[in-house]
Amino acid sequence: MSKFLECIGVGKIYPGKTEPVEALRGIDFSCGAGDFVCLLGRSGCGKSTLLQMVAGLERPTAGQIVVAGRALDGPSTATSIVFQDHGLFPWMTVQKNVEFNMKARGTKAAERAEIARRFLDMTSLSGFADRYPHELSGGMRQRVGIARALTTDPKALLMDEPFGALDAQTRGKLQDELLQIWAQQRTTVLFVTHSIDEALLLADRILVFTPRPGRIAADIKVDLPRPRAPQSAAFSVLARDLRGLVGADREID
């Protein structure tokens, strides 16, 4: 498996209010291009922090992150990130929002419009190009966020609990759509979640995080056939194993 993304001895210590906080320690893993990897764990175990570091928004205090053969020194053109609170600019239309990442790259206006339209189609948002974010539902806003992330043709799509704020039904739809997009685009996906079922539904590989300090406790390969069948026995067995690894807290599903 070719190493597309590599974390070597990555650690993160925050100064903290009263004393330093060690958010992550000794993170070592790598994944190949096109893999769908979930970072799974309860809140506070550093999985979001790691994602932000892969996105170049934070720097590790120890170790190194290598993306597409280059050590990271800030945000990379090879990655795009999707946030849980969508991060759409309220004063821009959906179209302009989707075009933003390209604009930041210097892509010309006509080309931007064209590409944006393509990804709006892909995320079933064609009719909403001229709407403002406040006119859209939560699920649609996340679609816009995803479309925007895809416009720069990222090698890795980083997703920070993107569906956490949505109701179960919308979440289900978006999970399906995401899998379709992934099947089509074949980007690497790093997906942070605290939901075991979601991880099993989406990922080829699950990294289980435990807190204080954040560490990778387990690296599980998910061999279940796609499309995933949550009712199947194999699914339940894996889910039970994961529950044990993740910890005592009941997960919201």
Partner 1 sequence: MQLRRAWGLLPLALLLLAWELAVQAKVYPSILLPPPTKVLMVFVEDWQIVLGNALASIGRVTVGITLSFLFAVPLGLMIGRYQLLDTMTDWSIQIFRSIPPIALIPLALLFLGIGDKPAIALIFLAGTWPLLINTIFGVRNIERTLIKVARAARASEFLVMKDIILPAALPAIFTGLRLAVGGGWLTVVTAEMIAVKSGLGYMILNAQLTFRSDLIIAGIIVIGGIGLLADQAVRRVRAHVCRWQEGLTASPE
CA angle 35, 41, 59 (to 5 degrees): 70
In the complex with partner 1, which residue's Cβ is closer, 83 or 128?
A: 83
85 part of the interface to partner 1, by CB under 8 A = yes
**Interface with partner 1 by CB under 8 A: which range of 16-24, 98-106, 182-190, 204-212?**
98-106
Among 87, 211, 213, 247, contact with partner 1 (rule: CB under 8 A): 87
Among 69, 90, 127, 225, contact with partner 1 (rule: CB under 8 A): 90
Site string for partner 1, 18-37 (x = CB under 8 A): --------------------
Q: How far is the CB of 49 from partner 1 (least distance, A)?
A: 13
108 part of the interface to partner 1, by CB under 8 A = no
Q: How far is the CB of 2 from partner 1 (least distance, A)?
A: 24
**Residues 6+ away with beta carbon under 8 Å from 66:** 3, 5, 6, 7, 8, 72
Question: Taking a C-beta distance cutoff of 8 angstroms, is the pair 201, 230 a contact?
Answer: yes
Q: Are strands 62-67 and 156-160 parallel, antiparallel or unpaired?
A: unpaired
The CA dihedral of 61, 66, 67, 73, to the nearest 10 degrees, is 50
- Give dist(CA 211, CA 236) in Å, integer: 24
Among 48, 49, 95, 101, contact with partner 1 (rule: CB under 8 A): 101
Buried/exposed 74-97: b ≥16 CB within 10 Å, e otherwise: eebebbbbbbbebbbeeeebbbbb
Among 35, 39, 47, 83, contact with partner 1 (rule: CB under 8 A): 83
In the complex with partner 1, which residue's Cβ is closer, 104 or 237?
A: 104
Count other C-beta atoms under 10 Å from residue 231's C-beta.
7
Q: How far is the CB of 156 from partner 1 (least distance, A)?
A: 12
Site string for partner 1, 112-151 (x = CB under 8 A): --------------------xxx-----------------
Where on the phi/psi map is residue 69: left (φ > 0), alpha (ψ -120 to 50), or beta?
A: left
Site residues for partner 1, 41-70, by CB under 8 A, read 52, 55-57
Number of residues that bind partner 1 (CB under 8 A): 27
Among residues 187, 195, 88, 180, which one has the least CA distance to residue 137? Answer: 88
- Give dist(CA 189, CA 191) in Å, integer: 6
In the complex with partner 1, which residue's Cβ is closer, 121 or 130?
A: 130
Q: How far is the CB of 161 from partner 1 (least distance, A)?
A: 12
Q: Are strands 156-160 and 188-193 parallel, antiparallel or unpaired?
A: parallel
Binding site for partner 1 (CB under 8 A): 52, 55-57, 74-75, 77, 79-81, 83, 85-87, 89-92, 100-101, 103-105, 132-134, 152
